[in-house]
Structure 1
């Protein structure tokens, strides 16, 4: 089996605070005299029930981590470390999602917060050999007018270059807010050429995904995994070319599925859906990008050829330039064309010889 960390891929579903390394969180908490909940630093991945109480616990932990990000230096550190970690896992493209309102009080407002992330994304791209794009996300927990403000801000920095804003999202508890009320914000973002990438279809089922499809007209759906429960809806997603950002680790962590084998990844892929595997919030769920591909391999029996197609799907679904996509797709082909280490091991076991070099 080929090394999944060497498989070129794109990472399209990673949250800013949720990307944080545990040692980084510990450092920041110590600097500000913050006492962290044990669940954030015990290296034991969250396992929560898919209920409002489960989400409340998740949100409380996320907020505790976010409260430790209090300066421009902290924000830059998160972007650089996220880029470094992704590059080490074979990601050639990262689109990191951030709600700037969370950090605005510490850096002089939402505009400076966005500019810090953009500038850090450009610097991290150059330093770590990975293209980093930015997604500005609004929260369902806040007023839809706040989402319009963020959409206008995202539109101001829209572009397809390294470090620029490439998409507009909507995150937080799917059970909150009226989806239709966020439609105008997505209209603003769409007119600016931004990808529409709202969350949907993890805690709620097909009806909610249909509402997101109708009201927000997404290019990608964050999660969308429960489209597998409705053949008609899944066919519509495929026909419209809407990509699904599937995050098996967080699906398990939030109790949507009890085991990795229950995540309907095979169903989605077999239906022809464009899939981009993502890690969502590694800080809380304890799994990074390569772990998602490992789940596909071990829990769902994906061959290396199928894994290469998953990686290619993530690249196609990204907002990378056509030249970057072509380069990464060629690298995926090269990964698959390389000798399988298992073949070499088999030759040695049979008494054959293997030439290296």
Structure 2
């Protein structure tokens, strides 16, 4: 009986703040690109099972190897535009009124003549996708911990040249890849460049490593949002510090389980973080590898963590408020969340009063 009372999560307005460019690809698109490029894909990228690897260096190596194999199938500007368009289309179909997609243009620069055209292609595709699907698409430029920090400064300067609030602009600067690699403090100068330009600071942290590393990220990179951040729950004082600073957490339950951080969905500390008062925005991270998109994360919150519709609406509101959406889009989405929750749940009979 309870199932009949549930509102459709696909119609819940929300913002999607943690989605990687290559990892956003549909499996069917990856297969098309691989065929066009004459590339033989690893079987793990072709089956329907989500990736499952052990926590640690060996697990990350397998994840990264598969990610690199998918990225190697992207061979042209047309491929890049297709990925952006399909990501926006898929998010629009799941009720996302705002998408902030993350890309390291360095990875695609050889295809199109440099990092500047690589970024500008994505920005133009984001603008056109916004017009096509109605989901406002902003872009996060992300540096990699695996590259030299001077390259991060170059990317931050490039990102700063395209800063904006509307669709097809750069709204944030991130730091991704294996948290165990690189010296966090060495990337502080790049983040300072980005902050001076008005970009949101959105580094990864607190998934593969725990509170000590999160403290370094907070101290050196001054995040507005943390990509993941779930391990903050292990240190109540650190979590209080995060909340006091107004830092939102981009929680990606499927990623946490796929990468072996938690053995099962029920162990992801989503409920603990929300109950503590943290600002949480659910994300899908890399659905190509982890096998589930944004609505699936909300479904996990509902079925595994016991969030009722009011709590799910609060999660959606948190994602919208933590976004860099335009003021018009923010207001529209928040109004939509209120309407979603105010509407009678299917099967409750509240709209059937006879005549």
Q: TM-score range by the shorter chain?
A: over 0.9
* Equivalent of residue 272 in structure 1, options 270, 277, 287: 277
Alignment of 1:164 onto 2:169: yes
Shift of 1:355: 6.8
Rounded Cα–Cα distance in structure 1 between residues aligned with 2:244 and 2:332: 27
Equivalent residues in 2 for 1:39-78, closer than 5 Å: 39-78=44-83
Cα deviation digits, residues 215-266 of structure 1 (max 9, x gap): 0000000000010111001111111100000000000000101111100001
In the other structure, the counterpart of 2:3 is none
In the other structure, the counterpart of 1:339 is 344
Rounded Cα–Cα distance in structure 2 between residues aligned with 1:129 and 1:324: 10
In the other structure, the counterpart of 2:193 is 188
Rounded Cα–Cα distance in structure 2 between residues aligned with 1:275 and 1:320: 16
Rounded Cα–Cα distance in structure 2 between residues aligned with 1:180 and 1:85: 36
Corresponding residue SS for 2:203: strand
Corresponding residue SS for 1:341: coil
Shift of 1:342: 3.6
Alignment of 1:22 onto 2:27: yes
Rounded Cα–Cα distance in structure 1 between residues aligned with 2:237 and 2:330: 30
Query: Would the aligned equivalents of 1:219 and 1:241 in 2 still touch at CA under 8 Å?
Result: yes
Rounded Cα–Cα distance in structure 1 between residues aligned with 2:44 and 2:91: 24
Equivalent residues in 2 for 1:240-319, closer than 5 Å: 240-319=245-324
Rounded Cα–Cα distance in structure 1 between residues aligned with 2:185 and 2:27: 37
Equivalent residues in 2 for 1:190-269, closer than 5 Å: 190-269=195-274
Rounded Cα–Cα distance in structure 1 between residues aligned with 2:168 and 2:298: 26
Rounded Cα–Cα distance in structure 1 between residues aligned with 2:353 and 2:131: 36
In the other structure, the counterpart of 2:153 is 148
Corresponding residue SS for 1:169: strand
Rounded Cα–Cα distance in structure 1 between residues aligned with 2:264 and 2:48: 19
Shift of 1:326: 1.0
Structure 1 runs not aligned, ≥5 long: 348-352
Shift of 1:162: 1.0
In the other structure, the counterpart of 1:95 is 100
Shift of 1:60: 0.2
* Equivalent of residue 322 in structure 1, options 324, 327, 333: 327
Rounded Cα–Cα distance in structure 2 between residues aligned with 1:113 and 1:291: 31
Shift of 1:354: 3.4
Rounded Cα–Cα distance in structure 1 between residues aligned with 2:83 and 2:262: 29
Query: Would the aligned equivalents of 1:238 and 1:271 in 2 still touch at CA under 8 Å?
Result: no
Rounded Cα–Cα distance in structure 1 between residues aligned with 2:296 and 2:353: 31
Structure 1 ranges of 4+ moved more than 6 A: none
In the other structure, the counterpart of 1:11 is 16
Shift of 1:36: 0.1
Equivalent residues in 2 for 1:172-183, closer than 5 Å: 172-183=177-188
Corresponding residue SS for 1:119: helix
Shift of 1:270: 0.9
Rounded Cα–Cα distance in structure 1 between residues aligned with 2:62 and 2:138: 30
In the other structure, the counterpart of 1:350 is none
Shift of 1:34: 0.2
Cα deviation digits, residues 55-93 of structure 1 (max 9, x gap): 000000000000001100000000000000000000000
Structure 2 runs not aligned, ≥5 long: 1-5
Pairwise CA RMSD? 1.1
Corresponding residue SS for 1:162: coil
